[in-house]
């Protein structure tokens, strides 16, 4: 008897481990017409694990003080063996994660998977997206370069436009009137501890919801019919479906490999893609560099603020758009999920994507 089987038997006698594995892997059946878009959750889990691992490694050499932060990053990039690799994977990984998060959200929207009984899964997922953007924003300041300093100055200054409490919010975000050591301290604490803790909890809630309710069936094919609104809890079963392991795990693995290849392609062949020249200069609070722009995923917000006559109006529009998205399952209550039978939603969906791209491109070139 092999050692693996002995360990398996030992755990099985005490914890019934084989039954748990069978329930969640081989006997866990997914819809036969499940598609590759459903693998994005596994892709995101993998990418977040990679961010977590590289983030811990960066903490070994990173020094979160205004005097030392930039130098410690330079040291990681130029002196520590493979420091450039760890840091570039972390920085590029954040961008790939936002891309995967957007794709995940768009696929869920298109297939109407946010609808009852999966409203809570959507809310947890949307909060995860916002929290990820928060982690990107706080992480952006940490290198303490001209880019990070001034991008954070611009990003935080818009909060000062909130009526009545704007100034308090702004000072609270920055830890003072201007971006400085207090800002670095609180952004560092949020980035490495505060946000990841909330993030971990939300991931657990999201996964619990996914597993408890069951995977939604893609709304395609002639036999698909809208489900009746739920009146009691029911786990969605897929009799005659494909097992999660090994069938769907193989598909998950393929998409994960694709995203990792994309990540490594940028790291090795275009490492400067997300590092404009201002990211190689130490922060100088007295010299604003020309043409500071936020990262691509904030360009739409940046441009929105510019096209409205006052900043508060721009902020309000952004806030309303985000709240509408968060509450979408409670507003769009029809059980119909087939895109072809939701022409109004699909039109708004594509206009929304086009608007996001157009605003981003405009923001980039403005």
Partner 1 sequence: MQRSSRRKFLASLLGTLGAAAVGIATYPVFKYLAPSRSDERGGKVTIPRAQVGVGQARFFQFQGHPAVVLQRGPGVFAAFSAICTHLGCIVKWVPEKGEFLCPCHAGRFSSDGKVLGGPPPKPLPSIPVAISGENLLIG
Tell me the closest approach of the beta carbon of residue 57 to partner 1, in angstroms: 6
Tell me the closest approach of the beta carbon of residue 2 to partner 1, in angstroms: 14
Query: How many H-runs (helices) and E-runs (strands) does the chain carry?
Result: 15, 2
Neighbours of 2 (CB within 10 A): 7
Size of the site for partner 1 (CB under 8 A): 8
Tell me the closest approach of the beta carbon of residue 76 to partner 1, in angstroms: 9
Decide if 31 contacts 217 (C-beta within 8 A).
yes
3 state DSSP class of 14? helix
Q: What span, in angstroms and rounded, lies between the C-alpha atoms of 252 and 327?
A: 29
Distance (Å) of CA 357 to CA 138, 210, 363? 24, 30, 10
**59 part of the interface to partner 1, by CB under 8 A:** no
Tell me the closest approach of the beta carbon of residue 315 to partner 1, in angstroms: 41
Q: What span, in angstroms and rounded, lies between the C-alpha atoms of 145 and 149?
A: 6
Tell me the closest approach of the beta carbon of residue 85 to partner 1, in angstroms: 5
Query: Which residues between 150 and 209 bind partner 1 (CB under 8 A)?
Result: none
Per-residue contact string for residues 65-104; x = within reach of partner 1 by CB under 8 A: ---------------xxxx-xx------------------
178: Cβ contacts below 8 Å, ≥ 6 apart: 153, 285
Taking CB under 8 A as the criterion, the residue among 7, 20, 60, 307 binding partner 1 is 60
User: Residue 61 or residue 356: which is nearer to partner 1 going by CB?
Assistant: 61
User: Residue 57 or residue 137: which is nearer to partner 1 going by CB?
Assistant: 57
User: Residue 84 or residue 349: which is nearer to partner 1 going by CB?
Assistant: 84
Distance (Å) of CA 208 to CA 14, 82, 204, 347? 24, 37, 6, 32
Taking CB under 8 A as the criterion, the residue among 30, 57, 136, 305 binding partner 1 is 57
CA angle 255, 329, 218 (to 5 degrees): 40
Per-residue contact string for residues 219-258; x = within reach of partner 1 by CB under 8 A: ----------------------------------------
User: Residue 86 or residue 100: which is nearer to partner 1 going by CB?
Assistant: 86
Q: Which two tokens stand for residue 191?
A: 């980035």
User: Residue 15 or residue 60: which is nearer to partner 1 going by CB?
Assistant: 60
User: Residue 80 or residue 198: which is nearer to partner 1 going by CB?
Assistant: 80
331: Cβ contacts below 8 Å, ≥ 6 apart: 324
Decide if 93 contacts 43 (C-beta within 8 A).
no
Tell me the closest approach of the beta carbon of residue 145 to partner 1, in angstroms: 22
Tell me the closest approach of the beta carbon of residue 78 to partner 1, in angstroms: 13
**Of 241, 217, 263, whose CA–CA distance to 112 is shortest?**
217
Residues of this chain that bind partner 1 (CB under 8 A): 57, 60, 80-83, 85-86
């Amino acid at each position: 008897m092999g050692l693996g089987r002995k360990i398996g038997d030992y755990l099985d006698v005490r914890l019934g481990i084989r039954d748990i594995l069978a329930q969640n892997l081989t006997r866990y059946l997914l819809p036969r017409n499940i598609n590759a878009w459903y693998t994005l959750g596994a892709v995101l889990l993998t990418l977040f694990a990679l961010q977590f691992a590289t983030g811990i490694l960066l903490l070994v050499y990173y020094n979160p003080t205004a005097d030392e932060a930039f130098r410690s990053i330079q040291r990681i990039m130029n002196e520590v063996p493979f420091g450039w690799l760890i840091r570039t994977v972390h920085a590029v990984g954040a961008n790939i994660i936002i891309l995967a998060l957007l794709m995940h959200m768009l696929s869920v929207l298109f297939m109407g998977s946010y609808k009852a009984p999966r409203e809570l899964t959507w809310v947890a997922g949307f909060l995860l997206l916002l929290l990820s953007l928060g982690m990107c924003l706080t992480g952006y300041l940490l290198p303490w370069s001209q880019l990070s300093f001034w991008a954070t100055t611009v990003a935080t200054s818009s909060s000062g436009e909130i009526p009545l409490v704007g100034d308090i919010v702004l000072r609270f975000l920055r830890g003072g009137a201007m971006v400085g050591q207090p800002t670095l301290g609180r952004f560092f604490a949020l980035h490495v501890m505060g946000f990841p803790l909330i993030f971990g909890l939300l991931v657990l809630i999201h996964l619990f919801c996914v597993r408890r309710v069951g995977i939604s069936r893609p709304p395609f094919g002639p036999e698909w019919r809208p489900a009746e609104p739920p009146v009691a809890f029911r786990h969605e079963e897929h009799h005659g479906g494909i097992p999660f392991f090994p069938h769907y795990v193989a598909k998950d693995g393929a998409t994960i490999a694709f995203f990792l290849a994309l990540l490594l392609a940028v790291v090795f062949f275009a490492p400067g893609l997300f590092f404009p020249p201002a990211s190689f200069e130490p922060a100088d609070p007295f010299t604003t560099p020309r043409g500071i722009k936020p990262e691509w995923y904030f360009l739409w917000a940046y441009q929105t603020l510019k096209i409205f006559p006052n900043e508060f109006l721009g902020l309000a529009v952004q806030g309303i758009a985000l709240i509408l998205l968060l509450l979408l399952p409670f507003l769009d209550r029809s059980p119909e999920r087939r895109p072809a039978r939701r022409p109004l939603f699909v039109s708004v969906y594509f206009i929304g994507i086009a608007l996001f791209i157009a605003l981003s491109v405009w923001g980039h070139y403005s």
